Amino acid sequence: MKRSYEEINEKIRNGDAVVLTAEEIIEVVEKEGVERATKEVDIVTTGTFGAMCSSGAFLNFGHSEPPIKMIKVTLNEVPAYAGLAAVDAYIGATEPREDGSIEYGGAHVIEELIAGKAVHLRASSYGTDCYPRKDIDTWVSLKTINQAYMFNPRNAYQNYGVATNSSERTLYTYMGKLLPRYGNVTYSSAGQLSPLMNDPQLRTIGIGTRIFLGGAQGYVAWEGTQFKTNVEARNGVPTGASRTLAVIGDLKQMSTDYVRALSFHKYGPTLGVGVGVPIPILDEEMMKAVSVRDEQIFAPILDYSILSRNKTPIRQVSYAELRSGKVELNGRSVKSSSISSYQKARQIAEALKKQLIKGEFLLTEKVADLPEQKEQLPLDLHSREEVE
């Protein structure tokens, strides 16, 4: 059986589309089989919510009187990058305040803007003939800003490593607090609900795919940074960090229900972002992909006390075991916990399902594929001659 995007969108418009979440489809396939489920279901929704450090927002403040060419910009004392046009800036989620505090950063500014709060803008310039003003100190909000759109270079990781710590001291990392002597393990993925786990070869996800982003409708803009495909697969799903998405969406349409500032103790700020992707059931192979279960998805346990980019996995562990709250590690039971929110991922999949059923969300067919083959290059020490 084959379906087209046009057929599915017509069913959405008519209110006839059958939509299930990635959790719900598992039970349907188990009871009815792949063939029958494919005939009955049009779309499966996915979701993930977690710390996505490679996130931020482009902002256009408008021109002052007299005009200024902004060179140095801060928002609530958080530096924003202004090396663009005169009054454009990009604020990154992990940028900390100028005073050196790492408990507040760009992520907090983004959340406060989405919440409708006023943000303190300061900017300075060297002054030019066409932009004579040299400084400005004012307050802005999403009501006063022209364009404000989230552009995240790396979101929705397709799997990720599980963190532990063999050393004698506690480690504070982007994977949270890691207790000494293998005292715990942490992980960050929605597993069977996660978008790229349900379309591991990106058959339906590419440039131009409409997605749920932070409560708004956004799009896949490009391959995400650190995108790679040369990762061993198990049950069709990569067993470690693999593909990623660069995504874009209107900050003014987003909600703090799905975009939240986070701060990792002794590590710094980051942004919790909610991403959901509708997977059209084009054929039986697509149905097989979206019915993947946590028992079939595996990730490597890595020792974060090893200060190297090349960490040998201690073992592979399933998401079913991780989500049970305990994993077996070196012959003993160790507590496991998630730094992403499965509950929020479930809410996102449900919210996207409701939008599709109500006809508020239509599918878009990708305009270009993301890479089928890609390796991630390391940063090594080179001479100039070696890299030219």
- CB-side exposure of 172: number of CA atoms within 13 Å? 8
Say how far apart CA 41 and CA 283 lie, in whole Å: 10
DSSP string, 274-338: EEE-EEE--SHHHHHHHT--GGG-EEEEEETTS-SS----SEEEEHHHHHTTEEEETTEEEEEEE
pLDDT by 10s per residue, the chain, length 388: 899 999 999 999 999 999 999 999 999 999 999 999 999 999 999 999 999 999 999 999 999 999 999 999 999 999 999 999 999 999 999 999 999 999 999 999 999 999 999 999 999 999 999 999 999 999 999 999 999 999 999 999 999 999 999 999 999 999 999 999 999 999 999 999 999 999 999 999 999 999 999 999 999 999 999 999 999 999 999 999 999 999 999 999 999 999 999 999 999 999 999 999 999 999 999 999 999 999 999 999 999 999 999 999 999 999 999 999 999 999 999 999 999 999 999 999 999 999 999 999 999 999 999 999 999 999 999 999 999 9
Say how far apart CA 363 and CA 282 lie, in whole Å: 12
Q: What angle do CA 190, 342, 112 make, to 5 degrees?
A: 105
Contacts of 221 (CB under 8 A, 6+ apart): 151, 207, 246, 247, 248
For 168, other C-beta atoms within 10 Å of its C-beta total 8
Q: Any idea how long the chain is?
A: 388
| Residue carrying structure tokens 């990730």 | 299
First-to-last alpha carbon distance for the chain, in angstroms, is 52
What percentage of the chain carries pLDDT values higher than 90? Answer: 100
Strands (E), 330-375: 332-338
Contacts of 148 (CB under 8 A, 6+ apart): 57, 58, 59, 60, 113, 142, 250, 251, 252
Which tens digits make up the pLDDT trace of 20-68? Answer: 999 999 999 999 999 999 999 999 999 999 999 999 999 999 999 999 9
Extract the tokens encoding 115: 């919440």
DSSP string, 169-204: S-EEETTEEE-TTT-EEEE---GGG-HHHHSTT-SS
Say how far apart CA 206 and CA 208 lie, in whole Å: 6
- Catalytic positions, written as ranges: 130
Say how far apart CA 249 and CA 220 lie, in whole Å: 9
Q: 28: left (phi > 0), else alpha (psi -120 to 50), else beta?
A: alpha
Residue spans per domain, the chain: 5-52+152-357, 62-145
- CB-side exposure of 269: number of CA atoms within 13 Å? 25
